[in-house]
Amino acid sequence: MPGRVTPGTDQPAAESRPVPGIERSAIRVLLVDDHRALADALSRLLATEPGITMVGSAYSAAEARVRLRHPVDVVLMDYLLPDGTGAELARASKARWPRAQVIMLTAYDDDETVLESIQAGADGFLAKTASIDEILTAVRAAHAGETLLPPSVIAKIAMRVKVAREQGADAAPVEPLTTRELEILRLLSAGRTTKEICTELAIAPNTLRTHVQNITAKLHVHSKLEAVVTALKLGLVDPPTPEDRLYP
């Protein structure tokens, strides 16, 4: 659609300058995938959706870094890139735009990739085989602050972190968390949604958002998923158990 996908540029942009043609109220999406034909097709489809506008597509980590000179809300990112990994680029994205949500396009069964990406600041994961409807749902959910990772995968990661902790892996000291912050971390580690946490703790979404910001600041992390992994590593919360209702 004309005016929705911005042509590439090698000129740096002022941090507060919007990309021409992009509606500020829309969710600004950057797509990073080295499969050019697939990336272009997906970008065109996303650009036609109401409330979504494309910052552009990038086919390598180097091109993505140029695109990231413009503000973004959600980055859809392939893990395997010709000149780097999605984890490395996730870290760069968070450094430039801390509030941007990074969704990694990868396989759930690769624990090492998932854990590395979480520690780099990834906010969620999506299978590369996801449909356009699933991608749209994920973009909107990520922008709303939801954690995009199946609870069963969180459980697997939690057990890996627990084993590492029991083997004496070092962890940096952090500022003490409040009782409410620990409650929220426990619910996040169980894969609860924002709505479920707010209902259980009888708090408003904005209050939860403030608590999460405080948690990530105290733990020196960039996402809710990374906060969960760090909390498990430090022994601040216990790993979810198979008896939890969210785990089949």
- Collect all residues with Cβ–Cβ distance below 8 Å to 4 and sequence separation of at least 6: 21, 22, 47, 48, 53, 54
- DSSP assignment of 159-220, as one string? HHHHHHHHTT------PPPPHHHHHHHHHHHTT--HHHHHHHHT--HHHHHHHHHHHHHHHT
Domain assignment of residue 223, given as a range:
152-234
Q: Give the pLDDT confidence score for residue 6 in this predicted structure.
A: 40
Do 67 and 143 belong together in one domain? yes
Q: Give the pLDDT confidence score for residue 93 in this predicted structure.
A: 93
Give the length of the chain: 248
- Cα–Cα distance between 74 and 106 in angstroms, integer? 16
Do 47 and 127 belong together in one domain? yes
Q: Give the pLDDT confidence score for residue 169 in this predicted structure.
A: 56
Q: Give the pLDDT confidence score for residue 242 in this predicted structure.
A: 52
List the alpha helices (DSSP H) in 98-177: 111-119, 132-143, 151-166
Q: What is the DSSP letter of 103?
A: E
**Does residue 173 form part of some domain?**
yes
- Cα–Cα distance between 161 and 142 in angstroms, integer? 24
Q: What number of helices (H) and strands (E) belong to the chain?
A: 10, 7
pLDDT digits (tens, 9 = 90+) for 17-75: 444 444 457 999 999 999 999 899 999 999 999 999 999 999 999 999 999 999 999 99
Of the three residues 149, 170, 203, the one that is the final residue of a domain is: 149
- Residue with the two structure tokens 């708090």: 203
Do 33 and 145 belong together in one domain? yes
Of the three residues 149, 183, 201, the one that is the final residue of a domain is: 149
Of the three residues 130, 149, 168, the one that is the final residue of a domain is: 149
Q: Give the pLDDT confidence score for residue 139 in this predicted structure.
A: 94
- Cα–Cα distance between 120 and 158 in angstroms, integer? 17
- Given a cut of 50, the residues of the chain with pLDDT beneath it are 1-23, 245-248
**Does residue 3 form part of some domain?**
no
DSSP-based three-state secondary structure for 228 = helix
Q: CATH number of the domain at 54, please.
A: 3.40.50.2300
- Cα–Cα distance between 153 and 157 in angstroms, integer? 6
CA dihedral sign, ordered 138, 154, 244, 227: negative
Closest among 121, 127, 140, 106 to 29, alpha carbons compared: 140
Do 63 and 95 belong together in one domain? yes
